[in-house]
Homo-oligomer: A and B are copies of this chain.
Amino acid sequence: MASAKPEFESVEKLLAKHVPADDLAEIKRIFYGKELPPLSICTEAKKIAENYDFEIQGYKFGARLEQLRAPRIVRTGLVQNRIVLPTTAPLNAQREAIHERLGNIVEAAALCGVNVLCFQEAWPCPFVFCTREKQPWCELAESAEYGPTTQFIQRLCRQYNMVIVSPILERDEECEDILWNTAVVVSNTGRIIGKHRKNHIPRVGDFNESTYYLEGNTGHPVFETQFGRIAVNICYGRHHPLNWLMFGLNGAEIVFNPSATVGNLSEPLWGIEARNAAIANGYFTCAINRVGTENYPNEFTSGDGRPGHKDFGHFYGSSYVTAPDGSRTPGLSRVRDGLMVVEMDLNLCRQVRDNWGFQMTQRIPLYAESLTRNISPNFKRQIIREN
């Protein structure tokens, strides 16, 4: 059941439609931080985007020129996409159609000079967890090391000299066939650098993910790539400041947040959490959301009093990037597939840390002690009452 009102394309387009330039500049300064220069997109990439009906946006995050350190420029890409075939199609055909579509988007990303690219959460599948059906959906889980999706990604990485973060539904074939929600990080050499399993699993709305997999057991790895140190905070982990913090303490410069979330649940939170994480931790964050509405063959209920229905609501896209100084790009479309290309100078991380001093002043020893006390069976809350 689609909502009565058609989805609008983006809040940025609504603003640009109505607000004159000088007032728009103040509004954008307060809501988005400093103005970002656009990145020019080459004609070939634009042509692919037009042929295959997806959007490309590009921006630059500069940094001050330093005397003792060269700039460290990296081009980062974010991809958001709808599923291609209906969820009633054979699983193999569904997956291959998504592979093919993403292959075209990756080609455009390569033409834009992207060095590190990240896809949305569970990108080769529909986001099936609303259904609570184990079959046929568990069949879509793949080996992170040897599955067809990882093989497909490895070919792309080698072909385009690109690091790709590939979030999939993982089946751990070497450990009792358990399922995980996992991001596989593939080097520009085509070799797998490593993988990270989603640390925080939702139990809210139709996000019945804990029916399929549990909290990850891979800690907070940071992946050293030729282009910078990256980490992956998968979806619901963006609500958890401690998850973001640990990626920072482990040395991340860019943290991707591949997600899948729907409008009526989370849209007002979407611009807040990844952006807060960039500010608090002094790194870049890249928030990526699925787009479109997915319908399933069988009815399911949502635990909210509504009768059974077949759709998961509208995934609102709006993928965006935030710099450590809190400035952010506009979002990609709320309704269309898209590629966001962002050129960033990673030197900005340390420059902002030097200026604001959040890392120096964060008093980790105090909180290590406080949290340790909190989990002790003798924990008492520090509550002060009137005498």
Which A residues lie at the B interface, using CB under 8 A?
A: 8, 11, 14-15, 17-20, 23, 26-27, 29-34, 185, 187, 189, 191, 193-194, 199-204, 215, 219-225, 229, 236, 239-242, 244-246, 249-251, 267-273, 275-276, 279-280, 326-327, 355-358, 360-368, 370-372, 374-375, 381-387
A–B Cβ pairs within 8 angstroms, 20 of them: A11-B31, A15-B19, A18-B18, A29-B267, A30-B270, A31-B268, A189-B386, A202-B361, A221-B383, A222-B382, A236-B361, A239-B279, A239-B356, A239-B358, A241-B280, A246-B370, A249-B381, A276-B276, A364-B371, A364-B375
Q: Which residue of B lies closest to A368 (CB)?
A: B371
Q: A202-B361, A268-B327, A382-B220 are in contact. Are A242 and B245 (CB under 8 A)?
A: yes
Q: A239-B356, A268-B327, A384-B222 are in contact. Are A200 and B361 (CB under 8 A)?
A: yes
Chain B residue numbers with a CB within 8 Å of A327 are 268
The 8 closest A-B pairs by CB, nearest first: A241-B241, A276-B276, A33-B268, A368-B371, A194-B384, A242-B367, A250-B381, A18-B19
Q: Report the bound CA distance from A31 to B328 in whole Å.
A: 14
Partner of A271, one of B30, B357, B386: B30
Cβ contact within 8 Å between B32 and A222: no
Chain B residue numbers with a CB within 8 Å of A370 are 219-220, 242, 246, 249
Q: Report the bound CA distance from A280 to B277 in whole Å.
A: 12
Q: Report the bound CA distance from A363 to B241 in whole Å.
A: 11
Q: Which residue of B lies closest to A193 (CB)?
A: B386
Chain B residue numbers with a CB within 8 Å of A251 are 381, 383
Chain B residue numbers with a CB within 8 Å of A271 are 30-31
Q: Which residue of B lies closest to A200 (CB)?
A: B361
Chain B residue numbers with a CB within 8 Å of A26 are 8, 11, 14
Cβ contact within 8 Å between B382 and A203: no
Extra contacts, 16 of them, besides A187-B386, A203-B361, A273-B279 (Cβ < 8 A), are A14-B27, A19-B19, A30-B270, A202-B361, A203-B357, A204-B357, A239-B358, A240-B362, A241-B242, A242-B242, A250-B383, A269-B279, A272-B275, A276-B276, A364-B371, A368-B374
